[in-house]
């Protein structure tokens, strides 16, 4: 059955709310401790309704089952679910954010994350953005590096429960002619 990519809707939220923590628990092993992963699920990972309402959050389906989710955004929020969005508006105006990528347990290393990333990059390019940036989890770093992102800076985010969670800010330059000014007004 081929993989298909479509825009997420609010009707997907219950499925995504289960997929995201399950993905984090299964695929963070070896990168974060179990305690760090649980703190991240509580304070960082989660659905962002703004992305869904913007029409910039995508899901990958196989045989009608959602196997991954991830999105892009023209907004300044760099990472975090609805429980704790963290912003970054210090990037050039031609920079779109890559947000909240999660592949279902058992579906990793099939190229699904890469398929989703390039679908997001294409949508961002169509909207006129020339650069992509993101806050990578530690499991995300080798994935994004393989897809051409470069490491900008390591970041430690101190969560409300005191957990110090390590991330890496990363970016990639896209081919194309530059942003169409005024196309989006966040």
166 is an interface residue for ligand COA by CB under 6 A: no
The residues, ordered by sequence, that sit 6+ positions from 104 with a Cβ below 8 Å of its Cβ are 19, 22, 23, 66, 67, 68
Contact string (CB under 6 A) for ligand COA, positions 104-133, x = contact: ----xxxxxxx-------------------
Under rule CB under 6 A, residue 48 binds ligand COA: no
Which residue from 44, 51, 69, 136 is in contact with ligand COA, where contact means CB under 6 A? 136
Nearest residue to ligand COA by CB is 113
User: Quick check: 101 binds ligand COA (CB under 6 A)?
Assistant: yes
DSSP 174: P
Residue 138, SS3?
Answer: coil
Residue in 67, 68, 117 with CA at minimum distance from that of residue 96: 117
Residue 117 token pair: 């990333």
Q: If binding is defined by CB under 6 A, does position 23 make contact with ligand COA?
A: yes
- Cα separation, 129 vs 140, in Å, equals 22
Binding site for ligand COA (CB under 6 A): 23-24, 27-28, 101-103, 108-114, 136-137, 139-140, 142-143, 146
């Amino acid at each position: 059955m081929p993989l298909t990519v479509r825009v997420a809707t609010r009707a997907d939220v219950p499925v995504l709310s289960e997929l995201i923590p399950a993905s984090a628990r299964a695929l963070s092993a070896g990168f974060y401790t179990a305690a760090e992963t649980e703190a991240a699920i509580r304070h960082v990972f989660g659905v962002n309704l703004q992305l869904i309402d913007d029409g910039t959050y995508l899901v990958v389906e196989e045989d009608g089952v959602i196997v991954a989710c991830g999105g892009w955004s023209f907004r300044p929020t760099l990472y975090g679910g609805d429980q704790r969005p963290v912003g970054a508006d210090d990037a050039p105006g031609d920079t779109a954010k890559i947000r909240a990528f999660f592949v279902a347990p058992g579906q990793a290393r099939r190229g699904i994350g890469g398929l989703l990333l390039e679908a997001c990059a294409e949508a961002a390019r169509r909207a006129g953005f020339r650069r992509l940036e993101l806050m990578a989890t530690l499991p995300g770093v080798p994935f994004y590096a393989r897809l051409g992102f470069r490491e900008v800076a390591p970041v430690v985010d101190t969560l409300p429960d005191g957990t110090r969670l390590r991330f890496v800010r990363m970016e990639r330059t896209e081919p194309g002619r530059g942003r169409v000014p005024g196309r989006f007004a966040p």
